Structure 1
Amino acid sequence: MPPTRSHLLASAQALCDAFATKADVETLLSHFSSTHQISAIEHGLPLAAPFLGRRFTGRTGPTSVPVYFQLLSKYLTYDSMSFSEWVVDTHAGKVSVKGAAKFTWTEGKGDGQSWDEEFVYVLDFDEECKVTDYQVWADSGAAYLAHRGELADKVKEFEQENKTS
């Protein structure tokens, strides 16, 4: 019997809650399937940040899902993460949700540069309501500029160019 809407929604909310409270990698992985191949991808150009544009698969190895979460925690921190606008597709076993948070780059030239961002998760689930595929669409441009240490200057330029007199 396929998962119900309430089960899919509860599973998606549990993963998002764990992410919002900055749970460790093992806790995040507990929301993923142990019976199906798992994957994570944050869409964007790979040159923009080390965690973008590559599909991370499985539980072990250099391109595994745990490595994706480790890269996120190495390069980013975030505050005030929240989720809204849940869309549940029981036929496909998917949940889509809009998230928002304040992100801060924590490495290299961009250390300390922050931006507010809205992003989208699309989560695919197995028959036990565990995540098989985790996809993210986010502001890769802000991450890229922060990574290069240029975000704060670009924001100031933009604000000056768009001031109303």
Structure 2
Amino acid sequence: MTRPGLLKPIHAFLEALTNPNPKDPNQLLSTFTTFPKPLVHEHGLPQLAPFLGRPFTGQDGIATYFELLSSLLSIKNMVFEPDESWVVDASCMAVSLRGTATFVWKQTQQAWDETFAYRIKLAVDGGGSQETRRLAVCEYHVWADTGAAYLARCGRLGDLTGGGGEDFEPEEGIA
């Protein structure tokens, strides 16, 4: 598989993620495989936020992940590094990339800017007929600022960022 061939489904996924079509709520899900069962995993302690640290599998699981995420967070100004900076591994059909965005925990309205990393593995979707088989996302791994998400969820992010408390002082012996 060529680099451009691998990047095409990644660009389709990122476009559906950053510019959802209100007339086609399944647009994002359609960028994932049906078989093999797709996986979404946002790494982190599951105690910090309901979408962290557990696998979401299959089309239903992926829908649950994105519904959960959109019910808890709003995301603004999501941009990605140019694809020339992405790491493309054609041998395992995976792409790693970084992006930035502003996240807002809806319940507390606390916001933070962060840089996050994705590792997206592709596979030929075997869920359709021979004519409709296509390359699609089968694994979507996310590494992000779970600490900021947790503090925003608890309404404590401002305590550290100066938006409602004193500057953070590390405990003695930690620096």
Instruction: Return the TM-score normalized by structure 2.
Output: 0.82
1:21 equivalent to 2:25? Answer no
Alignment-derived partner of residue 133 in structure 1 = 139
Question: Where does structure 2 lack aligned partners over 5 or more consecutive residues?
Answer: 125-133, 171-175
The AA in structure 2 aligned to 1:158 is D
* 1:130 aligned counterpart, secondary structure: strand
1:86 equivalent to 2:86? Answer yes
1:28-67 to structure 2, matched below 5 A, reads 28-60=28-60, 64-67=61-64
The structure with the larger Rg is 2
Alignment-derived partner of residue 123 in structure 1 = 120
The AA in structure 1 aligned to 2:67 is Q
**CA apart distance, 1:22:** 3.9
Q: Indicate conservation of the 8 Å contact 2:159/2:168, yes or no.
A: no
**Distance in 1 of aligned mates of 2:150 and 2:20:** 22
Q: Indicate conservation of the 8 Å contact 2:20/2:28, yes or no.
A: no
**CA apart distance, 1:48:** 0.7
Alignment-derived partner of residue 147 in structure 1 = 153
Q: Indicate conservation of the 8 Å contact 2:34/2:59, yes or no.
A: no
**Distance in 1 of aligned mates of 2:43 and 2:53:** 5
Moved more, 82-91 or 22-31: 22-31
**Distance in 1 of aligned mates of 2:113 and 2:20:** 17
**Distance in 1 of aligned mates of 2:115 and 2:27:** 24
The AA in structure 1 aligned to 2:151 is L
Q: Give aligned pairs, total.
A: 153
Aligned mate of 1:73, from 62, 65, 70: 70
Deviation by residue 1:32-81 (Cα, 9 ceiling, x = unmatched): 01221111000000011110001000123xxx111000110001011110
Alignment-derived partner of residue 96 in structure 1 = 96
Q: Indicate conservation of the 8 Å contact 2:34/2:58, yes or no.
A: no
Q: Indicate conservation of the 8 Å contact 2:102/2:114, yes or no.
A: yes
Question: Where does structure 1 lack aligned partners over 5 or more consecutive residues?
Answer: none
The AA in structure 2 aligned to 1:12 is I
Deviation by residue 1:60-103 (Cα, 9 ceiling, x = unmatched): 3xxx1110001100010111100113111111100111010000
Moved more, 132-141 or 20-29: 20-29
**CA apart distance, 1:20:** 1.5
Identity of aligned residues (%): 42
* 1:124 aligned counterpart, secondary structure: strand
Aligned mate of 1:112, from 90, 109, 120: 109
